[in-house]
Chains A and B, each alone.
Chain A
Amino acid sequence: MDETLAEFFRRTILKIPMTEMMTILKTWNFLSENQLQTVNFRQRKESIVQDLVLLLINIEYHATLRLNDAAHLDIIYTQFHRHQKIWDVFQMSKRPGDNIDLFDMEEFKSSFKKILQRALKNVTVSFRDAEENSVWIRIAWGTQYKKPNQYKPAYVVYYSQTPYAFTSSSQLKSNLPLLGQALTVASKHHQIVKMDLRSRYLDSLKAIVFKQYNQSFETHNSTTSLQERSFGLDINMDSRIIHENKVEKERVQRVTQEIFGDYPQPRLEFAQYKLETKFKSDLNRGILAEREEPLRCLVKFSSPHLLEALKSLAPAGIADAPLSPLLTCIPNKGRNYFKIRDK
């Protein structure tokens, strides 16, 4: 086996945490049960990895082990660890009046691969089908003269019945236009546009973009749980504690529920606002207020779970309800990067 291929296998398997090792190897489905049983999984991790790589080298005599299999393993690892990458969202559009073609997955894959290979001689493209008619594409970039770098691949998750694709932000930004072009042409669209939406949580991005987050089903259970919730509150409250502003508290709860709903919010880590506005001040006109040019400033909100944090601001008393529409429009508008200018 090629030295570099063996090394690539070794490094990919080494990345996998021990708790997930068996699950990932079984999902990969390249090594059979019998072959896996020959490896002693009770050793230290380095020894296990060594044994696995030796096993793969021995297998090569019976079947050709290709780079594609290693790439598959890499895709599976990334699918299990999708939170380690930051995902951008792209939206494609057809020309108005274009025929709606039937989508063929195999045609898309071969077209996509051909476009990339025609442009860059050295590029490794691998595919893995996933749920909901989506495909995970792994691309290792090379140039006309260099072999592809297998350790810095880009990932694209394309949902075939939709105009949306999610890409992991790759370090090699120069290949992004080519990637966009390949996606657009292969999926028979006309244009591709990058949305101002970015997050680590692919599932949340999916929920926002496909508007799946606000499905709260009205069932008998949900109404009883609401009663239990308020009942529980009463039990905890001592009768000697009296809330003066009960009416106001209920108003805040109601407004928050109207804006954010009862359902769990999709998970984002930050929202960024680029302000280019003139300085406004109620106080005496100072130096800043006399500036003609707009002030440039960047406001970034970060949180382990931004939307839940925003939802709890008003009930906690840290902000007034209703919150600024700039904050509450994030899932509706599907963006967390904003540019604000004076009208």
Chain B
Amino acid sequence: MSVLRPLDRLPGLNTATILLVGTEDALLQQLADSMLKEDCTSELKVHLARSLPLPCSVNRPRIDLIVFVVNLHSKHSLQSVEESLCHLDAAFFLGKVAFLATGAGRDSHCSIHRNTVVKLAHTYRSPLLFCDLEIEDFRAAMAQRLVRLLQICAGHVPGVSALNLLSLLRGSENPSLEDL
């Protein structure tokens, strides 16, 4: 019950649900607001959580995409994400998980090295996105991207599935990382 599984619920009609996991509530809230401002043919639902496991809830819809938000300024956020990853079923990592690192713009405030999150994303075979969520324009662009990602993961885009997307994204990664 404490492990989140991708296919344990039936999908809702034309509904796509994203789960944002991160310790800093204000950032998640802002990102959620930006995502909901986007025009989208599917009905969007955003769930915000500080960490996994989620409290038991029968009413929760099927979660199509999980984005782990790590703030490079705070070791606490990275630690919390690492602990949350244990509570996910392995099937989620077939394209339904993404990592988002924020705060890379202010290098002097960063206490986590870029490579740490790069390695984390590589270990879990999931895409890593960088975005400074505090800057409105960057956040809006990232929100747009995440909505597209969410639609694909929910199966609302014909011809592309989450697993397809994952292999497409991975192809453009730095080949030297693949050797690790």
- B32 within 8 Å of A (CB atoms): yes
Distance of B35 from chain A, by nearest CB (Å): 9
User: Which residue of chain A has the shortest Cβ distance to B37 in the bound complex?
Assistant: A238
Q: How far is the CA of A71 from the CA of B47 in the complex (A)?
A: 64
Q: A312-327, CB under 8 A of B: which get 1 and which 0?
A: 0001111110000000
**Contact with B48, one of A244, A315, A316 (Cβ below 8 angstroms):** A244
Q: How far is the CA of A241 from the CA of B92 in the complex (A)?
A: 22
Is there an interface contact between B55 and A244, defined as CB atoms closer than 8 Å?
yes
Is there an interface contact between A318 and B76, defined as CB atoms closer than 8 Å?
yes
Is there an interface contact between A317 and B23, defined as CB atoms closer than 8 Å?
yes
Is there an interface contact between B25 and A317, defined as CB atoms closer than 8 Å?
yes
Q: A184-212, CB under 8 A of B: which get 1 and which 0?
A: 00000000000000000000000000000
Distance of A180 from chain B, by nearest CB (Å): 43
Q: How far is the CA of A241 from the CA of B32 in the complex (A)?
A: 7
Is there an interface contact between B49 and A245, defined as CB atoms closer than 8 Å?
yes
The majority secondary structure among interface residues of chain B is mixed
Is there an interface contact between B48 and A241, defined as CB atoms closer than 8 Å?
yes
Is there an interface contact between A241 and B36, defined as CB atoms closer than 8 Å?
yes
Distance of A234 from chain B, by nearest CB (Å): 13
Tell me which residues from 17 to 36 in chain B have a Cβ below 8 Å from any Cβ of chain A: 19, 22-26, 29, 32-33, 36
Interface size on B, residues (CB 8 A): 25
B33 proximity list for chain A (CB < 8 A) = 238, 241
Is there an interface contact between B46 and A240, defined as CB atoms closer than 8 Å?
yes
User: Which residue of chain A has the shortest Cβ distance to B27 in the bound complex?
Assistant: A317
- B113 within 8 Å of A (CB atoms): no
Is there an interface contact between B23 and A240, defined as CB atoms closer than 8 Å?
no
B22 proximity list for chain A (CB < 8 A) = 317
Q: Which 6 A-B pairs have the closest CB atoms?
A: A244-B49, A317-B23, A317-B24, A245-B50, A241-B32, A241-B46
21 A-B residue pairings within 8 Å (CB atoms): A238-B32, A238-B36, A240-B45, A241-B47, A241-B48, A242-B46, A242-B48, A243-B48, A244-B55, A244-B57, A245-B50, A247-B55, A249-B50, A316-B24, A316-B25, A317-B24, A317-B25, A317-B77, A318-B76, A319-B76, A320-B76
* Contacts beyond the supplied A241-B48, A242-B47, A320-B76: 16 A-B pairs with Cβ under 8 Å: A238-B33, A240-B36, A240-B44, A240-B45, A241-B47, A243-B48, A244-B48, A245-B54, A245-B55, A249-B25, A249-B50, A315-B25, A316-B24, A316-B25, A318-B23, A318-B76
